[in-house]
Amino acid sequence: MKLTVKLFAYFRDNRFVAEVKQYPEQATVADIIGDLGIDEKEVGVTMLNSRHCRLDAHPQEGDILAIFPVIGGG
Amino acid sequence: MSDKIFRVNMTELTVSVEEVPQNWAGLGGRGLTSTIVAAEVPPTCHPLGPNNKLVFAPGLLSGTVAANSGRLSAGAKSPLTGTIKEANAGGTSAQLLARCGCKALIIEGQAKADSWYSLAVTPAGVAISEEKELIGKGNYEVVQTLSKRFESKRGVITIGPAGEMKMEAANISVMDPDGNLRSNGRGGLGAVMGSKRVKFISVDPQGGKVTIADPEAFKQANRAFAKALVDNPVSQTLGTYGTNVLVNVINEAGGLPTRNFTSGQFEGHDKISGETMHDLIEERGGVVKHNCHAGCVIQCSQIYNDANKQYKTSGFEYESIWALGADCCVEDLDDIAEADRLMDDLGIDSIETSVAMGVAMEAGVLPFGDGPGVCRILREEVAKGTALGRIIGNGAGSVGRAFGVTRVPVVKNQAIPAYDPRTVKGMAITYATTPMGADHTAGYAVATNILNVGGSVDPLSKDGQVELSRNLQIATAAIDSTGMCLFIAFAALDDPNCLPRLIDLINARFGINLTGDDVTNLGKTILKTERAFNQAAGFNNADDRLPEFFYNEPLPPHNLVVDFTGEEIDSFWNF
């Protein structure tokens, strides 16, 4: 399946801002994070199509997956 | 040095130093300012008249080496909201006031309208002087002139032209360690200071130090407390990207109020994001990590240079960047930085004023996206106090009333900040119920709704939001009373070591035995004290509601409205 993957903050370093990527049909969000070489412990927020999702969620063809490190502000 | 209450009467031009009443002894920061305002200010008084009082209080740990302990609280009845108000800021003055032995500085009465004054705080008390040279001057010129006028390095608390003109969005500025500006931003407290005819306050501890009851326990607790802050991953990204790291995540979640609160996503989000800002700061030789007060270990501030690598602004915050960026649709970070600098210099709240610009854009005063137009209005209208400048300088509600706009994002007449309550539903409860008027810091449900800090509660559902906002508002009132930077809360929410060490610090400072329950009870008491003031000023639960459009205009992309009933909102106060 094809997904748009968006990365934020330091996850962009030596990777990318947003790319369309191909993944196996059964891939979970955690699988994709692992494939990108991101340490799961550093992940703070994941969203599929602007809704929060769990790491065991299964994205669908055409979804937009956003991956953020642990962040805060205000 | 024992702590005292410093009191200034501007009607009589007299000063006094008083013992601290027993029931104020355990209070600092917001806890103390709100307690004093509630005890001494008639709730129905005019906020700009002689019966209002402006109260400054450092935190319980200010003036010590405790990490992140240098926030200064200012309190009064707000001319913007008509409610009780506390606004806090960094800068050097909280630490220096504490070293003067000043537990609170109360400015009451009102000087005659033909003169302006300055106040000089030292361990001996307060001296009042007439001021002529700096009247009408911007805050940058005030701090630069004073750093030459005074031989010793003093703290400076000042108002700009907006405060002198008593605009309802006027703030109070506090000099930071580099001679730049931090702000007690919200609620028009600069207008209260202007109404007293006080242009600036200098603070000189003359070598004074804060006494620590148990220095060894204090040292140990501070080491563990600072470690909890430094080790927290939120602290680390705050240092790297500033608070502006939030633009992209709030946009992604569909909660970034855009084009005067008509969309939850902004097409130009990445151009104004923390990531872009970080790269620009590095390219232009600015400073990525900067502390707004000595002892800060998070360093979320920064120094932002212009394209010619010259200083433009610092303390360039998410809220200001969102308001001018997404809410006004300005995509050029340099235009936003210029406006931010102008607002700092004028001494006007960059949230209120920028949201007011968004309402003015909807009214057709200037087009959406017109960054240079915003700067022109700030320079030529607000700074000069023209009729339009005063309408904008009195805030978003004022612009809405002047131009007949119905989509006016305010609660209790204070502009709603950078999280749309239709898609970050915990914030709907905080905005509606906080005694401060719409204030994101009062109960930052964004942490749990969006950022997965302190657990997670679905931002798109109303389930659990009342309880979440209640717990956060109680905890925040308590943290605000310690005078700590609120950003310690990110560590406190997820690291069980953080808050107990903070309580250890307070106990070691004063030789007392506070418990976690005492601190929670303090938060509850402060909220109830503030609410009682508002009720006596004429507010009731009908004021604890969001503007009508949030209930009937669905917000893209999630197309949700605010769906809390009045009863559900009112249940916030069941504690």
Architecture of domain B243-410: Orthogonal Bundle (1.10)
Query: Tokens 């970050």 label which residue?
Result: B424
- Inter-chain contacts counted by CB atoms under 8 A, chains A and B: 88
CB-count exposure of residue B406 (10 Å: 0-12, 13-18, 19+):
exposed
**pLDDT beyond 80 at B1:** no
By DSSP bridging, strand B117-122 and strand B198-203 are parallel
Indicate the helix (H) or strand (E) that contains B471: helix B465-482
Q: Which residue ranges make up each domain of chain A?
A: 2-69
* Alpha carbon of A48: minimum distance to chain B alpha carbons (Å): 10
Mean pLDDT of B348-374: 98
B495 and A CB contact within 8 Å: no
Residues of B in contact with A12 (CB under 8 A): 275
Question: Do residues B198 and B170 lie in contact, with contact meaning Cβ atoms separated by under 8 Å?
Answer: no
Closest chain A residue by Cα to residue B318: A74
CATH tag, B4-203: 3.60.9.10
CA–CA gap between residue B60 and residue B29 (Å, rounded): 7
**pLDDT beyond 80 at B41:** yes
CA–CA gap between residue B205 and residue B64 (Å, rounded): 13
Residues of B in contact with A47 (CB under 8 A): 252-253
Question: Do A44 and B275 lie within an 8 Å CB cutoff?
Answer: no
**pLDDT beyond 90 at B6:** yes
The tens digit of pLDDT for each residue in B158-176 reads: 999 999 999 999 999 999 9
CA–CA gap between residue B24 and residue B129 (Å, rounded): 29
The tens digit of pLDDT for each residue in B272-306 reads: 999 999 999 999 999 999 999 988 999 999 999 99
B271 and A CB contact within 8 Å: no
Mean pLDDT of B312-317: 93
Q: Which amino acid appears at position B430 of this protein?
A: T
**pLDDT beyond 70 at B417:** yes
Choose which CATH entry (3.40.50.2300, 3.10.20.30, 3.10.105.10, 3.40.1030.10) describes domain A2-69: 3.10.20.30
Question: Do B460 and A51 lie within an 8 Å CB cutoff?
Answer: yes
Indicate the helix (H) or strand (E) that contains A33: helix A29-35
Query: Tokens 């007449």 label which residue?
Result: B413
DSSP 8-state code for residue B419: S
A62 and B CB contact within 8 Å: no
Question: Do A66 and B240 lie within an 8 Å CB cutoff?
Answer: no
pLDDT band at B450 (very low <50, low <70, confident <90, very high): very high
Mean pLDDT of B20-33: 95
Higher-confidence residue of B493 and B549: namely: B549
pLDDT-above-90 percentage for chain A: 97
**pLDDT beyond 70 at A31:** yes
pLDDT band at B368 (very low <50, low <70, confident <90, very high): very high
Range B220-224 contact pairs with CB under 8 angstroms and sequence separation of 24 or more: B220/B504, B221/B501, B221/B502, B221/B504, B221/B505, B221/B508, B222/B64, B222/B65, B222/B66, B222/B67, B222/B501, B222/B505, B224/B497, B224/B501, B224/B504
The tens digit of pLDDT for each residue in B212-263 reads: 999 999 999 999 999 999 999 999 999 999 999 999 999 999 999 999 999 9
B431 and A CB contact within 8 Å: no
B440 and A CB contact within 8 Å: yes
What is chain B's mean pLDDT, rounded? Answer: 96
Of B240, B254, B486, the CB nearest to A50: B254
Residues of A in contact with B241 (CB under 8 A): 9, 71
CA–CA gap between residue B377 and residue B228 (Å, rounded): 45
A68 and B CB contact within 8 Å: yes
A71 and B CB contact within 8 Å: yes
3-state secondary structure B134-174: CCCCCHHHHHHHHHHHCCCCCEEEECCHHHHCCCCCECEEE
What six digits make up the tokens of B484? 């700590």
Show Cβ contacts of residue B402 under 8 Å, excluding neighbours closer than 6 positions: B391
Question: Do B254 and A68 lie within an 8 Å CB cutoff?
Answer: no
Residues of A in contact with B558 (CB under 8 A): 50
* Alpha carbon of B329: minimum distance to chain A alpha carbons (Å): 20
B395 and A CB contact within 8 Å: no
Q: Which amino acid appears at position B402 of this protein?
A: A
* Alpha carbon of A50: minimum distance to chain B alpha carbons (Å): 5
Mean pLDDT of B335-352: 98
Residues of B in contact with A73 (CB under 8 A): 238, 242-246, 274, 300, 318
ipTM tops 0.95: yes
Question: Do B245 and A66 lie within an 8 Å CB cutoff?
Answer: no
Q: How confident is the model at residue A74, as a pLDDT?
A: 82
Higher-confidence residue of B494 and B441: namely: B441
The string of DSSP letters for B90-125 reads -SSHHHHHHHTTEEEEEEES---TT--EEEEEETTE
